[in-house]
């Protein structure tokens, strides 16, 4: 029914719209276009605004008159039918609220545990894909030799020292920390005959313990405060390439140039002594002096001073003890330089003591 009424309304409104008449719900009113007024000359000077009076049908054009009347009748009829057929909303009796059902009390459960980041990744919760690796295109014969040697070593250790290997699988208890050069000729465990797990190691070019180097400082902190090492050994070696480079005036570029700079400072500090030596002896003398200087740097660190303050009154003196040693690749021998690093540090205590109390 509403569809038919809409058709009738459109049928009545269309001719009126084409003639410039606008229809409103309060009744039929007209807005007569300006060109129509000028063409027919019926309304005279009447403006094109909405007329408040009944519209006068031009008598000069009968067809237009009947067209307007017919459109008005159709529109009015459609509007009247729409009003008469509109249904009032039926009155609905208020609903009586039903008595609440006796429901069993809901069971309260603990909130679900939020998975950790590791669990999400392992379970694929973060859409992580296993990286795809490819077989090496250029195998290395030396690497094959290395793995073959490791296999023999492992078989020998598992056969002769199974208890040690089982222990190493879960813990380490090193009592010595070794700060040495990265030179391939100085493998600390091999040259000392120590077992795995007995030496906590950090190696770099020219066995440096620079105060600004986080790698060395974090290793010292972990070794001293977490592992409880009792002796720290700074090991230089004769023929060190880093020390040799520092004796030249060549710029090696960053970061190597900045790394060997402190060794040049060691030479400057002891220049009178070094310049008085034969040129052939200067390099090894500089290596020894640099090793002692790195011992001093170790004693300057906060973890070492903290631990030594805590153990100052124990028998045997404070720990960790710091030692300067040098290795000779030509003979395979380690030499203790027999330097009392405690007295050395006491010389500069007013500069480097951090005043840490136990």
pLDDT higher at 212 or 29: 212
Annotation says 185 is catalytic: yes
- pLDDT per position as a tens digit, 245-254: 999 989 999 9
The residue annotated as part of the active site, out of 240, 295, 308, 323, is: 240
pLDDT band at 89 (very low <50, low <70, confident <90, very high): low
Is the per-residue pLDDT at 200 higher than 70? yes
What is the reported pLDDT for 59?
A: 47
- Average pLDDT on 303-315 reads 93
The residue annotated as part of the active site, out of 24, 39, 59, 185, is: 185
CA pair distance 340, 252, nearest whole angstrom:
35
Q: Report the candidate in 169, 176, 224 with the shortest Cα–Cα distance to residue 201.
A: 176
Quote the DSSP letter at residue 88: P
Q: Which of 32-41, 126-135, 164-173 has the lowest mean pLDDT?
A: 32-41
- pLDDT per position as a tens digit, 268-297: 999 999 999 999 999 999 999 999 999 999
The residue annotated as part of the active site, out of 235, 237, 308, 323, is: 237
- pLDDT per position as a tens digit, 146-197: 999 999 999 999 999 999 999 999 999 999 999 999 999 999 999 999 999 9
pLDDT band at 36 (very low <50, low <70, confident <90, very high): very low
Calculate the alpha carbon distances from 15 to 20, 43, 73, 82 in Å: 9, 20, 12, 20
What is the reported pLDDT for 138?
A: 82
Is the per-residue pLDDT at 40 higher than 80? no
pLDDT, mean over the chain = 79
Annotation says 183 is catalytic: yes
pLDDT band at 98 (very low <50, low <70, confident <90, very high): low
Annotation says 181 is catalytic: yes
Q: How far, rounded to the nearest angstrom, does the alpha carbon of residue 90 sit from its chain's CA centroid?
A: 66
Global confidence as pTM: 0.63
DSSP 42-69: -STT--SSPPSSPPPPPTT-HHHHHHHH
Note if the bond before 75 is cis, omega within 30 degrees: no
Q: Which residue intervals of the chain are DSSP H helices?
A: 2-19, 34-40, 62-85, 117-122, 141-160, 162-168, 188-192, 214-221, 241-246, 256-269, 271-275, 279-300, 302-310, 341-347, 349-352
- Average pLDDT on 201-227 reads 96
Percent of the chain with pLDDT strictly greater than 90? 56
What is the reported pLDDT for 84?
A: 58
Annotation says 323 is catalytic: no
Is the per-residue pLDDT at 86 higher than 60? no
- Average pLDDT on 42-50 reads 45
CB 286 within 8 A of CB 264: no
pLDDT higher at 67 or 314: 314
CA pair distance 267, 265, nearest whole angstrom:
5
Annotation says 24 is catalytic: no
CB 252 within 8 A of CB 260: yes
pLDDT band at 114 (very low <50, low <70, confident <90, very high): confident
The residue annotated as part of the active site, out of 183, 235, 295, 308, is: 183
Is the per-residue pLDDT at 48 higher than 80? no
């Amino acid at each position: 029914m509403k569809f038919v009424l809409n058709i009738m309304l459109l049928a009545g409104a269309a001719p009126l719209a084409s003639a410039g008449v606008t229809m409103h719900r309060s009744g039929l009113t007209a807005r007569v276009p300006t060109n129509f007024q000028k063409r027919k000359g019926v309304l005279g000077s009447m403006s094109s605004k909405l007329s408040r009076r009944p519209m006068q049908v031009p008598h000069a054009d009968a067809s237009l008159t009947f067209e307007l009347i017919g459109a008005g009748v159709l529109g009015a009829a459609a509007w009247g039918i729409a009003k008469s057929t509109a249904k009032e909303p039926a009155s609905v009796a208020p609903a009586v609220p039903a008595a609440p059902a006796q429901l069993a009390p809901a069971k309260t459960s603990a909130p679900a545990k939020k998975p950790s980041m590791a669990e999400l990744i392992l379970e694929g919760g973060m859409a992580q894909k296993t990286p795809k690796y490819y077989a090496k295109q250029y195998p290395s014969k030396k690497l094959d030799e290395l793995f073959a040697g490791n296999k023999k070593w492992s078989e020998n250790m598992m056969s002769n020292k199974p208890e040690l290997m089982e222990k190493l699988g879960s813990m380490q208890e090193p009592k010595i920390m070794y700060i040495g050069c990265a030179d391939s000729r100085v493998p600390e465990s091999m040259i000392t005959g120590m077992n795995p797990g007995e030496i906590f190691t950090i190696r770099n070019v020219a066995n440096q313990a620079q105060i600004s180097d986080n790698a060395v400082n974090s290793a010292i902190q972990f070794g001293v405060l977490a592992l409880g090492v009792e002796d720290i050994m700074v090991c230089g070696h004769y023929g060190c390439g880093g020390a040799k480079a520092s004796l030249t005036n060549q710029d090696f570029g960053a970061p190597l140039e900045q790394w060997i700079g402190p060794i040049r400072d060691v030479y400057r500090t002891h220049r009178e002594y070094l310049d008085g030596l034969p040129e052939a002896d200067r390099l090894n003398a500089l290596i020894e002096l640099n090793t002692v200087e790195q011992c001093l740097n170790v004693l300057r660190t906060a973890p070492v001073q903290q631990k030594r303050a805590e153990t100052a009154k124990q028998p045997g003196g404070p720990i960790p003890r710091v030692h300067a040693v040098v290795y000779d690749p030509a003979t395979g021998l380690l030499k203790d330089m027999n330097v009392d690093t405690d007295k050395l540090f006491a010389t500069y205590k007013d500069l480097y003591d951090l005043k840490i109390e136990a």
